Amino acid sequence: MSTVPPWPTEGGLALRAARFLEALANDWEIDLVVCAPRSRTDGGAAEAPRPPAPVPLHRLIEVESDCQLSPVPPPGSGPSRAALARTVVELLEGDRPAAALLWPGAEFLLPALAAGVPVVIDRCDSATLERLRGLRRSPTTLLRAARYAWYERRLVRLAAATVASGPADARFLGRLGGRSVVVIPNGVGIPASLPPRAPAPTVVFTGTLDYPPNVDAARFLVRTIWPLVRASVPRARLVIAGRRPSDKVKRLRAPDIEVQADPDDMVDVLGRAWVAVAPMRTGTGIKNKVLEAWAAGCPVVMTSIAANGLVEEAAAPLIADRPEPFASLVADLLSRPEHRDAVGARCRDAARLHHTWSGAARSLSALLRQAAGQPG
């Protein structure tokens, strides 16, 4: 069950759900219950979340709903959640599944499901941990973090198994619920070919640019880190690329800073960059932006938050949490081409060896079989 349509793959959760479903459908008969957008206000038909043709889903059950992805559902039972709950109960009564898999936003179904079928929840990230990380900028989030902690503790205790995308989130959720949480990281596709690098020293920051942690990171990068990089490498240029840039991100444009809205091909953007950066100060889970850059052979300088769940030997040499050492690492990579190419090759190898979607899906399939009491 997913409250976010996996297709088209816009955003990290949709990408994770889509890639898992595409792989799991080879071994499981899947009934996918998904929120479909309500009809458009202009009277036209809303576009349904259709999977690519090769994905052999048994059934795609669309529930017209404006149910929004939320780390913790709001109090009460709104009509959207009630419609989803009815659909799932009818599915259980008509065709009892071996196991159920819930993605974030759908866990409110867990109490009803757990009585009749083993449930695995792919929590991805800990919402409580993300809130706690934001306390230094907004102390008022403490009450919300406490509410999130109560909710996530209940989820971990009710589920047959809980999954997180990174070890920090898994450890935190495990401590909350008093049960171990399984780490299944995100994967990434490895491009078969890459464009030539840009002629000028180019640094890139990518992501969904209306997502608050990305907006915060982009502004921190431009205001605090980028002037230090330019002082060392005056010819350097910065590209900020991604979907739906907010007004705050658009205002970061400058003669040496380009904001690319909704690029057609992120592989081209990353392939042309000399260095990628992920100066995250909030957020949880594995950063797809890092894996995508690694797959393009592009070294990534990142904060420790952005390194959660990544292969340590590839990530550790390029981690810095303060602006000065962060900028120094970026400038060093821009100034030393042979070193930069060697680091990029190691990152690409790490993505190929440790972060494939097929490997992650095999781990999730094994966990579902274990929950269902099936062999293998």
What is residue 91's predicted lDDT score, i.e. its pLDDT?
84
Question: Of how many residues is the chain composed?
Answer: 376
From 61-75, 125-139, 299-313, the region with the lowest mean pLDDT: 61-75
Q: Tokens representing 185?
A: 């990281």
Cis check for the bond before 167: say yes or no (omega within 30 of 0).
no
Structure tokens at 29: 């008969």
Instruction: Reply yes or no on whether the pLDDT at 40 is more than 70.
Output: no
Q: Cα 80–12–60 angle (5° rounding)?
A: 50
Structure tokens at 228: 């230090």
Per-residue pLDDT, averaged over 45-55, amounts to 62
Closest CA to 239 of 229, 252, 220, 223: 252
Residue 108's pLDDT is: 85
Mean of all residue pLDDT scores within the chain: 88
The answer to whether the beta carbons of residues 289 and 310 sit under 8 Å apart is no
pLDDT over threshold 60, residue 111: yes
Tell me the per-residue pLDDT of 345-368, one tens digit each, with 9 for 90 and over: 999 999 999 999 999 999 999 999
Which pLDDT does position 57 carry in this prediction? 82
Q: Supply the pTM of this predicted model.
A: 0.86
Residue 36 has pLDDT above 80, yes or no: no
Q: How far apart are CA 322 and CA 234, in angstroms?
A: 21
pLDDT of residue 76: 60
| Average pLDDT value for residue range 332-338 | 98
Indicate whether 177 pLDDT > 90. Answer: yes
Q: How many other β-carbons are positioned within 10 Å of the β-carbon of residue 224?
A: 15
**Quick check: 289 pLDDT over 60?**
yes
* DSSP label at residue 12: H
| Mean predicted confidence (pLDDT) in 262-289 | 91
Compute CA distances 138 → 19, 279, 321, whole Å. Answer: 35, 19, 19
Write down all domains in the chain, each with its CATH number in brackets.
12-187+357-372 (3.40.50.2000), 202-354 (3.40.50.2000)
Q: Which of these ranges, 64-68, 71-75, 174-178, 196-200, has the smallest mean pLDDT?
A: 64-68
Going from the C-alpha of 249 to that of each of 222, 226, 316, 327, the distances in angstroms are 10, 15, 28, 20
Separation in Å, CA 322 to CA 84, 130, 220, 299, 328: 45, 20, 11, 18, 10
